[in-house]
Amino acid sequence: MEKYNLKRFSKSVSRYKRILGDIRGKSILVVLDVSQKEAFYSVAPLSRAVHEKGADMHVYVIGSSSSSLDVLKSVWTTYSEMKSGLKSKKGSALRDFISKADKKCNGAIEGIFRHPEKFVKARGKGFEGSFSLPYDISWMKEYKKKELLKTCKIIWKQVYNLQNNEKVGINFELVGSVLGLPIEDYLDSFQISYNMMLSVKSQVTGMSSSTPRKSQLDAPERISELKATLLGCELSKGSKEPIFASFKKLSSLLSISKMTISSAVFGIHGKGYPGKHYFGECVGYPSPNGKTRWETPGQMVYKLDFYPQTALDPRKPRARIAFTETVPIDIFIKTCKIDWLKMKERDDSIIRLADKCQYIIVEGKKFGKYRTSLKVWLEDKGKRYRFRGSDVETRNLISPHYPNKKIVAGTMANIPGGEAFTTPKYVKGQFIGDVVISLDQSYKLNAKDPFVINCYGNRYKVIREPKIIGMKFKEKKKQAWKRILNQEKNKAVPMSIVNLQKENFNNIGEFAINTNPKAELCNYLIVNEKIANMIHIALGSGFEAERSTTYHTDIVIDAPRQQLDIYGVDNNGKKYWIHKKGKFVI
Q: What is the pLDDT of residue 516?
A: 96
Classify each residue of 469-492 as buried b or exposed e, where b means 16 or more C-beta atoms within 10 Å of its C-beta.
beebbeebbebbbebbeebbebeb
How far is Cα 312 from Cα 305, in angstroms, rounded to an integer? Answer: 11
DSSP states of 418-447:
-EEEE--SEEEEEEEE-SEEESSSEEE-BT
Q: Please list, in sequence order, all residues whose beta carbon lies within 8 angstroms of the beta carbon of residue 219, skipping any fewer than 6 positions away.
A: 213, 275, 276
Burial 533-566 (b: 16+ CB within 10 A, else e): bbbbbbbbbbbbbebbbbbbbbbbbbbebbbbbb
User: Residue 49 carries which side chain, given as an amino acid letter?
Assistant: A
Distance CA 433, CA 536 (A): 8
Each as own residue / partner, the long-range contacts of residues 73-76 (CB below 8 Å, 24 or more positions apart, any chain) are 74/254, 74/255, 75/113, 75/226, 75/230, 75/254, 75/256, 76/113, 76/114, 76/115, 76/116
| Cα–Cα nearest to 172, from 187, 160, 182 | 187
Give all strands (DSSP E) within 48-165, no chain letters. Answer: 56-62, 118-122, 126-129, 133-134
Q: How many CB atoms lie within 10 A of CB 416?
A: 30
Residues of the chain with pLDDT under 50: none
The crossing angle, in degrees rounded to 10, of helices 183-198 and 6-20 is: 90
With CA atoms as reference, report the closest residue to 486 among 159, 105, 69, 142: 105
The domain locations on the chain are: 6-283, 340-389+417-584
Among candidates 311, 248, 220, 268, which has minimal Cα distance to 100?
248
- Residues comprising the chain, all counted: 586
Q: What share of the chain is helix, strand, coil (3-state, %, to 5)?
A: 35, 25, 35
Question: What whole-number distance in Å separates Cα of residue 517 and Cα of residue 327?
Answer: 17
Question: What pTM was computed for the model?
Answer: 0.95
Per-residue pLDDT, 162: 98
Is the C-alpha dihedral spanning 421, 423, 428, 434 positive or negative?
A: positive
For residue 73, what is the enclosing H or E element?
helix 67-84
Is 520 exposed, middle or buried (CB count within 10 Å of its CB: 0-12, 13-18, 19+)? middle
pLDDT one-digit tens code per residue, 131-189 = 999 999 999 999 999 999 999 999 999 999 999 999 999 999 999 998 788 999 999 99
Could you give phi then psi for residue 371, rounded to 5 degrees? -160, 135
pLDDT score for 1: 60
Pairing state between β 426-433 and 451-457: antiparallel
Q: What is the pLDDT of residue 179?
A: 76
pLDDT value at residue 486: 94
Return the closest-CA partner of residue 27 out of 159, 219, 216, 189.
Answer: 219
H helical segments located in 491-567: 495-503, 525-528, 559-562
Burial state string for 266-294 with b = 16 or more CB within 10 A and e = fewer than 16:
bbbbbbbbbbbbbbbbbbbbbbeeeebbb
N-term to C-term CA, the chain? 41
User: Strand, helix or coil at 293?
Assistant: strand
Average pLDDT, the chain: 97
Segment 64-88, tens digit of pLDDT: 889 999 999 999 999 999 999 999 9
Taking only the tens place, the pLDDT of each residue in 390-426 is 999 999 999 999 987 789 999 999 999 999 999 999 9
